[in-house]
Amino acid sequence: MIRRRTLLTALATTPVLSGVAVTTTATPAAAAEPASNTALYADPTWSEGVHWGRRSRRHLIDDQSTTGRAPFLRSTVIAPHGGGIEGGTSELCLAIAGYDPADLAPTPVAGPVHDFWMFEGLMSSGNGALHVTSTHCDDTIARSLCAGSLNVLSLHGCKPEQAGLEPGAAAVLVGGLNPTFRQYLMEEFTAAGIRAVTASGEEEIAGIDPGNICNRTLLGMGAQLEMTTALRTAMFAAGKNTVADRATNLLPSFWTFTAATRRAIDRVEAGQTVL
């Protein structure tokens, strides 16, 4: 079986992120793949802000009225392998959450905002060594956001062979334990002309382990997207598919994918009553 961590797809290596202090430090020679976020954070080999970084946003819920109700944000979007680990997932995480990846202004895609969290590799090379599998993602903020959400959408990058697809295939694999969420994602991607495949086989690709961070929701189920290298590459201008340039060089296909995903989230939320 081809293991996910042997096929990590870093689409870029230039270590610059909007709003994040970065460095050109390469992978420490002695570093071993971390068993969890907790283990990585405790490892003196790695330093936050040098080798890796985190970004998140939890929106304020302030309800002081005894006669009315403040809106409850139902969904969280996460990118556990952002930055230089699985290229393009950070930018998609921000856009799907409702923010422009370049400056965090509201996106051109109308609709609500969602909470988000991402873990990002900041090195010039070797960011794959920072990969923590989704079942071992135990970052405190990530766990907290997911546990307080009805829905979680987790974004990942993969290679076609991990899904049994032909070389160079541009497709998104839809997984996770929430069947309704998966159905809406498949329908919206198909309607938008995006090749969507039901994820199966290896658990890390299918996202069916209850311990997977995407399933650690109030409902005990969520959704996971695995996007092939070709699909993500086509979302950014040629020659600008780097960590430094991606956020300001988004092609129409990026927004097509974003809009389709947000429509699926809207449909899921429309059927959920918050008592």
Q: Give the model confidence (pLDDT) of 152-167 as tens digits.
A: 999 999 999 888 899 9
Q: What digits encode the pLDDT tens for the residues 51-92? A: 999 999 999 988 898 988 878 889 999 999 999 999 999 999
Q: What digits encode the pLDDT tens for the residues 220-230?
A: 999 999 999 99
> What's the first-to-final CA gap in the chain, in angstroms?
45
Q: For residue 33, what are the CA distances in angstroms to 40, 41, 256?
A: 8, 12, 35
**Model pLDDT, residue 71:** 80
Which helix or strand (DSSP H or E) is residue 78 part of? strand 75-83
Please give the radius of gyration of the chain, using alpha carbons only, rounded to the nearest integer: 18
d(CA 42, CA 34): 10
Residue-range domain boundaries for the chain: 37-56+72-271
Question: Could you report the per-residue pLDDT of 179-237, keeping only the tens digit for each?
Answer: 999 999 999 999 999 999 999 877 789 999 999 999 999 999 999 999 999 999 999 99
- Tell me the fold of 37-56+72-271: Aminopeptidase (3.40.630)
Per-residue pLDDT at 36 exceeds 60 = yes
